[in-house]
Amino acid sequence: MTASSFKTMVLGGTATFLAVSFILFPKDAYEASIRGLNMWWEVVFPSLLPFFIMSEFLISFGVVTFVGALFEPVMRPLFRVPGVGGFVWSMGMASGFPAGAKLTARLRKDKKITRIQAERLVSFSNASNPIFIFGAIAVGFFHNPALGFLLAVCHYGGNLLVGLAMRFYGTDEEKESKQTTPRFSLRHAFRLMHQERRKDTRPLGKMMGDAVSSAVTTLLMIGGFIILFSVLNRLLTVMHVSEMLAILITIILTILHIPNELSPALISGLFEITLGSQMASVAAGTSLYHQVLITSFILGFNGFSVQAQVASILAETDIRFKPFFFARVLHGFLAMVLAAFLFEPLYTNGTGRTATEVFAPVNTEHVNTFFISVYEWLTHFGGLVTLGGLLLFVLLKAGRALKETKSIM
């Protein structure tokens, strides 16, 4: 049997297995799909839509090129990526996954970065946004706002370490010409920005319509993956497949001296971040320290749901998925190690004081309050934003279809 035939059998068997599972457990599949839909409708869509639309404008107006020229002296020596990677990295942290993958793919399509540079960049530019860490996890799951600071430091610090490690990736494949790193120059950066803006000859109205259409199309794809993996995770639990996986996970946790009670949370987190983090926060018979370790790993690994979203976006380019997957495993372990070392100094400081109290001079409490307020606003009004965005998308599509019909007639 050839490898291609075996792959066909595996894919066909998996699809058949899932279809039969949906038929056998319709109630569980329905409840899981509703749960995934609610998360996408209330939080994911309204929180990502503004960033996706804004990023399209920033690219079209040449602002990304401007920022890239300014970041060049930093990004190329540290991460061996062009300066535009600084924009992708910052937007990825601010808006959350898979924004980093979407922007990296866009830069690759525009030939602003090479394939190796894109694979390096996407490996550390996808991260959870602060709203999710501070609002959903720290407050919503753990009911402990002070944990948000610790989890954020471990998560973003781990991403930074991944970026530094991935700078050595692709050295054999990439043929880099030795070039001096340009100096910081606002005049040069503005000149490049002006040239980039003049290349885009679309009218402003069409540019706005394209930005909205691109953003909503990507978010619809993301919503489909969230619902699919929410259902898959639930079916694996109902069919007791997770219990078989728990045997292997238990061995790993025992080696790491982590309670076995956290194995269900880790298994769920491998598929979907939100459910895994929630289960870790309520795992009985475990300490807060071990719960934070598992949650940090889950956040760094991103879950197969997010990874599938990234794979779908990268499939439109020549960027390979394997380096990204390796980076996610590395990020998960690095975030866990950072949590192990930083839990005492950042959370209790050896005095029983929380991180919010220790870092009060830098307004950590105000930062926590801001992200928590944004998350609470999304849970109350995010659905209206999603509805408005979808209606605008439908109107744009209908308007373009009408114009095409008139042009044909």
Please identify which residue in the block is written with the tokens 């950042």. Answer: 346
d(CA 336, CA 274): 17
160: left (phi over 0), alpha (psi -120 to 50) or beta: alpha
Continuous segment of H or E residues that includes residue 32: helix 26-39
| Two structure tokens written together for 184 | 């910081």
CA distance readout (Å), 351 to 88, 145, 162, 306: 39, 18, 32, 38
Q: Are 230 and 35 in contact (CB under 8 A)?
A: yes
Give the pLDDT score at 182.
60
Give the pLDDT score at 368.
60
Q: Are 82 and 68 in contact (CB under 8 A)?
A: yes
Give the pLDDT score at 366.
56
Q: What is residue 42's DSSP assignment?
A: I
Its pTM stands at 0.81
Q: Are 57 and 68 in contact (CB under 8 A)?
A: no
| Two structure tokens written together for 189 | 């950066």
Q: How does pLDDT run along the chain (409 residues), one tens digit per residue?
A: 677 777 788 878 878 887 888 888 888 888 888 988 888 888 778 878 888 888 788 778 877 777 777 778 888 888 888 888 888 888 888 777 788 888 899 889 888 889 999 999 999 988 888 878 887 788 878 888 888 889 999 999 999 999 999 988 887 766 655 555 566 667 777 777 777 777 777 887 888 888 888 888 888 888 888 888 888 888 888 887 777 777 788 888 888 888 888 888 888 888 888 888 888 888 888 888 999 999 999 999 988 888 988 998 898 899 999 999 999 999 999 999 999 999 888 876 544 455 444 444 344 555 566 667 777 777 778 888 888 888 888 888 888 788 777 777 6
- Using a 10 angstrom Cβ sphere, with 0-12 exposed, 13-18 middle and 19 or more buried, the burial of residue 255 is exposed
CA 45 to mean position of chain CA atoms: 13
- Using a 10 angstrom Cβ sphere, with 0-12 exposed, 13-18 middle and 19 or more buried, the burial of residue 65 is buried
What does the DSSP assignment read for 89-121?
Answer: HHHHHHH-TTHHHHHHHHHHHTTSS-HHHHHHH
